[in-house]
Structure 1
Amino acid sequence: MNKKKWIILAAIVVVLGGGGYGGYAYYQSKNTAAEEPPAEPPSFPTATVDVGEVKKTIFSSGTIEAKAREEVRPEISGKVQKLFVKEGQAVKKGDVLFTVDSVDAQLELQKQELAIIRAQKELNELKNKKDKIVADKTGKVKEVLVKEGETVTPDTVVAKLTNTDYLKITGKFTAYEAEHFRVGQQVKVFISSSLYYVDGVVTKVDHIGQKEKGVGGVHDVDVLVKKPGALYVGDLGEVQYTDPKGLLFASQKATPFELPDEMEIVAGTHGKIGKVEVEKDDEIKAGQLLFKMDLTESELEMKDKELSLKEALLNMEQKKREIAKKQVEAPISGVITKLNVKEGEAPGSEPVAVIMDTSSVYFVAAVDEMDIPAIKLGQSVDVYLTAFGNKPFKGKVTELPKEGTKEDKSVRFAVKVELSDTADMKHGMTGDCDIYVEQKENVKRLPLNAVEVLEAGLGTVMVKDPASGEPTPKEIEIGVEGTDFIEVVKGLNEGDEVLLTNPEGM
């Protein structure tokens, strides 16, 4: 009730009081002979100041929503190739729901993977390029196999050597005798022309053998002998070995000494020969420089290969993303509540699937923009759902929106309320709620219809005059204006009686 209505009510009370008194005087003058009891003052309903709880609430309607709800749609068009879920099935975030035809994308991805392997190989070859080729053996150059400007790979043979410090002789033995020789074994070689022995080492044993005219089956045993001063290529000798039992094995005939087998030197790097530092018949030692490499083009080539590799990696990531889009995963954990596609079908306008996390639900209250400043996190809420009648469900404010939604001429804000008992609640249920924005306990209070609010913190009440019983206005200080009660801060004491200005709560 506003201040104007309260003044009118007071005036009515005064008039009623005056009228009663005038009538009483009239009857007294008309009936002086008859003595009657005086008229009782009029009776008004009252309320007493007590101590208790005062709650201020904001009323709002709303709906029950699942903790999370997601509509799943593929990012690309195409037919569903494989469906992995069904309606009502529980899924976890990241589970594959369905795939869209992706054969072409898989082939493209394989091509990109091969391109990356090739680019990495070429780049590694460039990084492993050396600026020179050196000898890893000692000997005499028999042949130089590359020229300036020629391109080599790590396996390219660039030169052949012979070791002039050694000679080779091949002994001829029977199959039985050959079984007593092994590589690395120390043997003696008898020099026929000089009638003396030199030491040798077995380097090869032929266990297969071959037939030779006049001697039958023959097995070669190659022996390497360090060349003494008076031993030459073409000199004859016999390979001999005495076993631990004293049994002598000697080659079937004297054979000539030869130069050792050729030794090959490989490039060990990629690139172009810049300069040849060795010639045929040169005596070289291990570690000696043989060729200088031309690296003038290597730096530019390396940058080009690095760019090619980056491009191939980017292309592969792009293909992977395309394939990932074709493999649609669950965005949240929950239950498949709707499934609107079958294998072999192309998705329509509706979402392919709807997932809801039904582990808990919230009540989302649509709060008016005039009330939203008073809403704070943690405030208590009583929720009443249409499906459950007047049963209150306890909750608290857990989330405030950053922006509102315009509805007709007003703006509403979706305030999320977490409920303690959600066992029987379903997504989409409607209801309303009381949000307790201010609450005090053990304070003096009066019913709302006993106080006329004048302004913030100030109100008036009608108190009964102790002597006459007539209603008299009195200003009081007020605090929280609750749903049912209003806090009395100053001006009244517990037990004081005031008139109800609107007994029926109108």
Structure 2
Amino acid sequence: MLKKTLKLIWRKKILSGICLVAIAGTSYFGYEKLGNQAETKYITSAVEKGMIIQSVSGSGKVSSLNQIDIKPKASGDITGVYVKEGQEVKKGTLLFSISSTDAQKSVTDAEISLDSAKIDLEEILEPVDQLTLMQAQNAYDQAVSSEKKAIEDLSSSYEDGLSSLTSIFFDLPEIMTDLYDVLFGYDFGTSQWNIDWYSDTTQNYGGEVLKYKQLAENNYKIAKNSYDKNFDNYKNISGYSETVKIDALTDETHATIKNISETIKSMTNLVNFTKDILEQNGATIPSALLSQQKTLQDYTLSVNKILGTPTSIKRTIQNAKDAIPKAKITLMEKEKALEDVKNGADNITIRLKTLAVQQKENALLSAKQNLAEYYPRAPFDGIIADLSVEKNNSFSSGNAGATITTKQKIAEISLNEIDVTDIKVGQKATLTFDAVEGLSITGEVVDVDSIGTISQNIVSYAVQIAFDIDDDRIKPGMSVSVSIITNSKQNILTVPLGAVKTQGQTSYVDILKDGEPQKTQVETGISNDTLIEITSGLNEGDMVVTQTISTGGTTPSASSNTGNKNFGGSGSFNAGSGAVMRIIQ
């Protein structure tokens, strides 16, 4: 089957070359026009579905050896050995196995990812059902309501905040009045303030009370000034005030409460210090002192309770502010989603989902190829000459687990470090021989060196290819040319390589419209020396310009636009009557 396929490929290549020359000649002479009038004609080619084959070529010699080491690119414990030394094996025989739990999981995960990507693609390709449209409309309506509610919530948060500030200013006047009385009242006699009584009484017993007295008095003055200014600003605020003023009042109120809290703390320290000195000296504790101590304790609890209110107001307002832009973004997203549902998936979305499927397919293929490394098989018919693995022993990647001798001939070629990255064991190849004219056989890559050889600063890697058939005319040491198929795609849109040009990072082709070429942006896939895949931008049957022919006087000529340097150069040939046709290759 492989021979037939490869022969078919070569036959198609030859026939395609003949057809291209015939078409080019026909198109050119069909457009050729003698005369003195200058005229420009365009040669076009149809976008067709076909196959592109990518390959890597190299040369080497037929090996004089007839054995190969089996060196899996996997590590782990040997879970089974299925052959023994001296045993004759057929191509594909399982030789041994390596523990592959992680590799098997990778395959399973890749299969699940591929299924998910296919489902996503199928969903966007299906017509929109009424339920999906209704859900999208409901989501949009809800987003509209959410945005409206977010704006209303911000307004409510300011109203609630102002209400909470009002409650605070119901309590603060009484607190400030009582604090004043604690310091400057006459509870211990009519001749002196309470604060002076505390200091004088304690000093009589040698207490160092002055620092407590001074701190309490200073803190009270700070709190009083802060409170008076804050209260005036509060009286000028209403529900119609600008929000920035309410924000400022909230910050100011928080600072005032902190100052009052510090005042109560310092006053409590003064009272407690005095009480301790009196107790230490066996003096009677006045009832007024105990009463003031109780008052300060109550206000400590009250002030600490309202201390967090301004912070809570600010947090609520900020959360409401943050919710508005989020609601607007959500609304825009839902509006766009509703439009997308109504309009269906656009070409870009379909293309992205298609690419996602292709990526998952490639990932699955890679995972399966990696899993195969854990189950090395005989690359050809032969005899097990050496077996270096045992069950339950550990195995390291790149080591030889077995050696197989064979009557099959093996070609060994050398590839550079760039080309060898595309080469994998199991890839098919075609081989030709300088010494045997007309002989072309198929083969398969059976080994790729994991470590390169450096010569004159150039790294090269040996690749061994086993012949699928034997031919007595092929001798060890003969030169061989090998073409290894690294990738192929069937049933894809293709155009001649020279039809695609680039401008910056954009690829485009020229399509004739009303007799004039117009640029059409395209996305491309794989390519070889003659064809390139078109993944988006064109449809089957579209006509793309491949050549431009200019005629003038008696010497008609053909020319083309500058081609994509990445896709190859250009050449020319004479086309009769002195005409010159330039063909983008």
Query: TM tier, shorter chain?
Result: 0.3 to 0.5
Q: Which structure has the highest helix share of the two?
A: 2
TM-score computed with the length of structure 2 as normaliser: 0.29
Higher strand share: 1
For normalisation by structure 1, the TM-score amounts to 0.33
> Which structure has more RCO (C-alpha within 8 Å, separation ≥ 6)?
2
